[in-house]
Amino acid sequence: MNENRKVLFLIGSPKKSRSTSESMSDYLAETIVKKVDWHIEKIHILSTIHENPDRIAKAAIQSDLIVLAFPTYVDSLPSHVIRTLMLLETRLDNSKERDLMVLINCGFPETFHNDNALKICRFYAKQTGLNWRGGIAVGAGGAIIGKKLAELGGMAGNLMKNIDLLTDRLIKDEMLQDDGILRVQTVPTRMYNMAGNMGWKKQAQKYGVQDRLYDKPDLKI
């Protein structure tokens, strides 16, 4: 077990609070500190990368493990997350070994929608000399709605179980031969779609357009 490691959580959600990315990060951080005496630092990328990018670079340089948490947008990383990775590519050196782990979630039920973003992150780790430590790919991430995982009960049970497994891998310093990605779908597809449709209709009713949900203006001549 590596003692006194420094872990940097980079939260890539555009939400300043109540994001799925932060909920997963907080649970992983809490699980780590319960088991080992590692130093934890958390930075919200969007509120920092433009005004104080040096803070991100300095924290990354000092870290032993970088945990990148973000939502998948159009099969890729959000633009501010990409900008951060470009910054770190120019600032990180090879004076010490560093690990990279990712916590990715998407709004679609199926976890495979995260695959392209995962490939980007793994390739980035290889190109910049970071040790790839895998992570978690979550489907139906919107169901978490920024709540603490422990407050969600059974719905987050499988996700917490897999984050516990990730923690053990980190503490035991287990380097995996495969891509090291654990896949979790928070709720069944049918249930998730049903809830999404209900929410969509509720929003339409709020703005008085519930009778126009099936309009096809682009097909009008």
- CB atoms < 10 A from the CB of 57, how many? 16
Say what the pTM is.
Answer: 0.89
- Do the domain assignments include residue 216? no
* pLDDT value at residue 2: 63
- Do the domain assignments include residue 203? yes
C-alpha of 170 from chain center? 17
Count of alpha carbons within 13 angstroms of residue 39, beta-carbon side? 9
CB-CB contact of 180 with 131 (8 Å): no
- Do the domain assignments include residue 148? yes
- Do the domain assignments include residue 154? yes
- Do the domain assignments include residue 217? no
Amino acid at 123: F
Helix axes 79-91, 115-128, angle to 10 degrees: 10
pLDDT in tens, 42-65: 999 999 999 999 999 999 999 999
Give every residue of the chain whose pLDDT is below 70, as ranges: 1-2, 175-179, 219-221
* pLDDT value at residue 213: 86
- Do the domain assignments include residue 145? yes
* pLDDT value at residue 30: 96
Domain that holds residue 11: 6-209
Residue 73: DSSP 8-state? B
pLDDT in tens, 19-44: 999 999 999 999 999 999 999 999 99
The domain spanning residue 145 has which CATH number?
A: 3.40.50.360
* pLDDT value at residue 197: 81
What is the total count of domains within the chain?
A: 1
- Do the domain assignments include residue 219? no
Burial class, 193, CB count within 10 angstroms (exposed 0-12 / middle 13-18 / buried 19+): middle
* pLDDT value at residue 178: 62
Q: What's the CA gap between 160 and 167, in Å, rounded?
A: 10
